[in-house]
Structure 1
Amino acid sequence: MAGLSRKRLVPLVVGGLTVVAVGAGGAVWWSNKQKYERTDNAFVQADKAPIASQIEGYVAEVLVEDNQAVQPGQLLVRIDPATIRARLAQAEANAAALQAAVAQVDDKARLEQAMIAQRAAGVQSARAQAQLAAAELNRYGALAKQGWVSPQRAQTTRAAQEQAAAGVAQAQAALEAERQTAASLGSARAQTVAQADAARAAVEQARLDLARTEIRAPVAGVVGARGVRVGQYVRPGGTMMSLVPLGEAYVIANFKETQVARLRLGQPVEIRTDAFGKRTIKGRVHSFAPATGAEFALIPVENAVGNFTKIAQRLPVKIAVDRTQPLADALRPGLSVEVKVDVRENTGPSFAEVGTPAAQYARRGATQ
């Protein structure tokens, strides 16, 4: 009987311990569920800077290697500048020639002003001659009527007066011609000045292209995806490499839409990645994406179909990494991580409140 009771007692004890263990585990799970929101659909990202050429030409030098750390302004690639230097010399010569043409037009304009003054003086002289001839005609005309002078003399005086009047008209026509010439020089100067400005712009463009033969790092980072080689012909816009700012990495965590209601800006986050084992990194909720990931897909999902099945969508949440953490600078974009958000802190605006002025203020405080 004792042996039989012992055989019955062991399963009861084991069952009881199992129930207690399951109950304790469930209690712990429920407690953690109330305190935290978790997801393993999260990845490290960084604002990579693609390095591309702004001009076309052959690569003369590549001065960086794969995975090399560079500083802002450091020379990365040099493109052969010979062709651009020749273009610059040609543009400078063209600009100098057009500037000389402008000076030549100015010289002609000054000469025309002198000619206009000369023609104006000629008009005054012709008018004086015409006035004298008119006075002579009046005097000899009166004498001819009284018979004191011969008709031939009167005719000669009339011819002189008409000749003087024609001289006035001729002088005025010459003056007007000089004025028209001066006006045409003004138009020619405006055209030449415009051509000279275009030539100077071509010089500046050639100088800018010459400076762009040296491609420098816009930001500090590590060289990645280096595809450029010496002797390669590059064109504007073609990516040659990327710079990854490792010290500015952040985490994008894709939470289910059933989880985001408890998330608030500024809530503390624990970040864990397989690359660092059990070591964790601290961070805070930075911002919420304006739409779910499906909305930004190359081919958006079309839900207006008859066989629709509701699936919980995921909303990307940006998590700012605490830069004081020892492992913050060691995060590499693309690493998968697990995040755990402490939802007990309710100081910041919630997902539903983001967009209000108070939320923007709280967001700035969370990123500082």
Structure 2
Amino acid sequence: MAVLPKKFVPLAAGGVVAVLLVIGGAAWWMDKQHYEKTDNAFIAADKVSVAPQVDGYVAEVLVGDNQQVAAGQVLVRLDTAPLKAALAQAEANAAALDAAVRAVDDKARLEQAMIAQKAAGVASAHAQAQLAQAELARYGTLATQGWVSPQRAQTAKAAASQASAGVEQARATLEAERRTAESLGSSRAQTLAQAQAAHAAVEQARINLDRAEIKAPVAGVVGARAVRPGQYVRPGSALMSVVPVQNAYIVANFKETQVSRLKVGQPVTIRADAFGKQAFKGKIDSFAPATGSEFALIPVENAVGNFTKIAQRLPVKIAVDPASPLAGALRPGLSVEVKVDVTADTGPGFAQAVSAAQLARTGASR
């Protein structure tokens, strides 16, 4: 084998280095043309905080830390004795008001009978008045002819006046009974409304009794369990969280200089530090409506004199392929690296999505 002279060794080494640089640069350029990457990405999930809706003492805690639970599974039971007592009291109050409504109905039926009786009394008094008027007319004629004494005629006149007064009294009594019957209608409406409110209280007491069993709102894994038997809890106090790890997704924060090449539906290769070099697949689901800094507690104020432009990052939601063997093993908060194949022509890109939203808003305003 021929040996190169020593003076050509640096040239050969330089040539090799140049070739390697060209190959490396070409590989980097090809990779840059095909993919957008970021390591500013994290696993997330829509965790749900579990809180009681009624107050009471905890009787049982039926789940442990990091336990898998199904949707609707009972997690905690509260002491039901006070709630059962409240339900019994509400039922008794409702029964009493139902009886009060029936009492008003019974009194209304009695009033109708009394009205009929008083109407008959009016008819009787009217008949008596007519008879008294006829007697007055007859005795008045006989008195003018001298057939009866003036005293008898005066007696007939007094009887007629008394009969007329009896008619007025009977009519007044009938009117009073009718007004009493009318007042019973409003009294019944008021009592019926109270009875309906009492039945609503019974239903609320039943709901509160059902809520003594605190159930899992979604399927997932129990975390941050802060409840123990015997503890007194109030509505809204956090007892634990349920994390639906099977529905975990990725939030990748891409620089604003990268998002122009991203499109909904583009395939994504994901690697998590927790799983070593094992990769799993996903796809771009959607773009956030604002950069991460806009959702900060104190947003950055750029209208100042010492402004320095810094590339902002836009959160991009990446859906994990449910068929991936790691789909159910992901835990929110873990960091990942994502690589998006931007050559795939799938859904609308970031610019198109913004334009479509702008057009929809303009059409709605018109």
**TM-score category of the 2 structures, normalised to the smaller one:** over 0.9
Give the AA of the match of 1:105. Answer: V
More displaced stretch, 102-111 vs 144-153? 144-153
Could you report, residue by residue, the CA deviation over 1:94-121 in whole angstroms, capped at 9, with x for unpaired residues?
Answer: 1111111111111111111111110111
The residue number in structure 2 matching 1:347 is 346
1:43-192 map, 5 Å: 43-192=42-191
Secondary structure of the residue aligned to 1:8 is helix
1:1-368 map, 5 Å: 6-354=5-353, 356=356
Give the AA of the match of 2:111. Answer: E
d(CA) in 2 for partners of 1:105, 1:296: 62
1:200 shift after superposition: 1.1
1:6 shift after superposition: 3.8
d(CA) in 1 for partners of 2:93, 2:27: 82
1:32 shift after superposition: 0.8
d(CA) in 2 for partners of 1:250, 1:164: 97
Runs of 4+ in 1 over 6 A off after TM superposition: none
Could you report, residue by residue, the CA deviation over 1:202-249 in whole angstroms, capped at 9, with x for unpaired residues?
Answer: 111111111111111122111111111111111101111111111111
1:150 shift after superposition: 1.9
Secondary structure of the residue aligned to 1:187 is helix
d(CA) in 1 for partners of 2:112, 2:273: 87
Secondary structure of the residue aligned to 1:133 is helix
1:45 shift after superposition: 0.7
d(CA) in 1 for partners of 2:109, 2:276: 86
Give the AA of the match of 2:190. Answer: Q
1:252 shift after superposition: 0.7
Give the AA of the match of 2:199. Answer: R
Secondary structure of the residue aligned to 1:286 is strand
Could you report, residue by residue, the CA deviation over 1:7-56 in whole angstroms, capped at 9, with x for unpaired residues?
Answer: 43222222222222112111111111111111111111111121110011
Secondary structure of the residue aligned to 2:239 is strand
More displaced stretch, 205-214 vs 139-148? 139-148
d(CA) in 2 for partners of 1:354, 1:138: 106
d(CA) in 1 for partners of 2:232, 2:306: 52
Give the AA of the match of 1:43. Answer: F
Give the AA of the match of 1:210. Answer: L
1:143 shift after superposition: 2.4
Could you report, residue by residue, the CA deviation over 1:136-171 in whole angstroms, capped at 9, with x for unpaired residues?
Answer: 222222222233222111111111111111001100
d(CA) in 2 for partners of 1:263, 1:84: 56
Secondary structure of the residue aligned to 1:170 is helix
Secondary structure of the residue aligned to 2:346 is coil
1:64 shift after superposition: 0.4
More displaced stretch, 344-353 vs 225-234? 344-353
Secondary structure of the residue aligned to 1:329 is coil
More displaced stretch, 92-101 vs 5-14? 5-14
1:347 shift after superposition: 2.9
Secondary structure of the residue aligned to 1:344 is coil
Secondary structure of the residue aligned to 1:40 is strand
Give the AA of the match of 2:233. Answer: V
The residue number in structure 2 matching 1:364 is none
More displaced stretch, 143-152 vs 101-110? 143-152
RMSD: 1.7
Secondary structure of the residue aligned to 1:287 is strand
The residue number in structure 2 matching 1:365 is none
Give the AA of the match of 2:126. Answer: R
Could you report, residue by residue, the CA deviation over 1:289-310 in whole angstroms, capped at 9, with x for unpaired residues?
Answer: 1111111111111111111111
Give the AA of the match of 1:278. Answer: K
Could you report, residue by residue, the CA deviation over 1:254-274 in whole angstroms, capped at 9, with x for unpaired residues?
Answer: 111111111111111111111
Could you report, residue by residue, the CA deviation over 1:47-75 in whole angstroms, capped at 9, with x for unpaired residues?
Answer: 11211100111111101000111112211
- Identity, in percent, stands at 71
Structure 2 unaligned segments of length 5 or more: list them: 361-366
Give the AA of the match of 2:10. Answer: P
Could you report, residue by residue, the CA deviation over 1:316-355 in whole angstroms, capped at 9, with x for unpaired residues?
Answer: 1111111111111111111111111111112311112226
Give the AA of the match of 1:323. Answer: P
d(CA) in 1 for partners of 2:10, 2:239: 70
Structure 1 unaligned segments of length 5 or more: list them: 361-368
Give the AA of the match of 1:322. Answer: D
Secondary structure of the residue aligned to 1:328 is coil
d(CA) in 2 for partners of 1:102, 1:226: 50
